[in-house]
Amino acid sequence: MFGISQPHQKIIKMINDIINILKDSYKKNWITPRDGNISYKSSDSNKFIITPSGLRKQDLKESDFIEIEISDKGWKQLNNFDQKPSGEIELHYEILKSIKSDICVIHLHPTHIISAMYAGLNLPTLAASFPELSRYTQVANNTENVPPLSKDLALQCKSMLQFDDNRHEFTNDIVGIPNHGIVSIGSNAYDAFEHVERLEHIATIVLLSKNNL
């Protein structure tokens, strides 16, 4: 069933959580069939799993996931050589290589968050008036309008998430990419997904109110 070396119960559960989140995201219209990508790395591991490029995300199977090894020279694909990892592999690699604890990275295209950025809003400014959001989710400043799949996008997202060298973790939980989408991180897939859900909820309220536009 798995092409991944030595899959343990935590990885198997995470893969199934990712599959369910992508199905949910598709139903919410936060991705079209081949959009979006998610990765996960276990604590103190030099390997991570990531969704493949080009496959319909709402139809992914456990065996479709690609295993990536992290080294000083970059990343290396370890399985499913008939597929390619997500085109945003550099984004996932740059974030995941920094963390020693469990971490999941989610990249989606939520409708109202993107609409708010298109209207000129910086996401932490949008979120500032809603304490129920900031209680659980720290929102980073938007990146510049950088090209998808680029190293520049990867480095800007990592920079805006603000890695704390003393705590060995990122200060922020979610960052917006204008005209593109979001990147959210958490200790597991659902923690990362909740940051997206909270911010999308607030963005919807703000856009409906039209007070800040």
CATH number at residue 105: 3.40.225.10
- From the number of C-beta atoms within 10 Å of its C-beta (0-12, 13-18, 19+), residue 177 rates as buried
Is 1 contained in some domain? no
Is 4 contained in some domain? no
Is 85 contained in some domain? yes
Q: What is the pLDDT of residue 10?
A: 85
Is 2 contained in some domain? no
Whether the pTM exceeds 0.85: the reply is yes
Is 29 contained in some domain? yes
pLDDT higher than threshold 80 for residue 4: no
In angstroms, rounded to a whole number, what is the distance separating the alpha carbons of residues 67 and 50?
7
Is 16 contained in some domain? yes
pLDDT higher than threshold 80 for residue 178: yes
Q: What is the pLDDT of residue 167?
A: 80
Query: What's the domain range around 75?
Result: 9-209
Is 3 contained in some domain? no
* Tens-place pLDDT, residues 47-83: 999 999 999 999 999 999 999 999 888 999 999 999 9
Per-residue pLDDT band for 190 (boundaries 50, 70, 90) equals: very high
Is 80 contained in some domain? yes
Q: What percent of the chain has pLDDT over 70?
A: 95
* Tens-place pLDDT, residues 18-39: 999 999 999 999 999 999 999 9
In angstroms, rounded to a whole number, what is the distance separating the alpha carbons of residues 58 and 24?
8
Number of domains making up the chain? 1
pLDDT higher than threshold 80 for residue 2: no
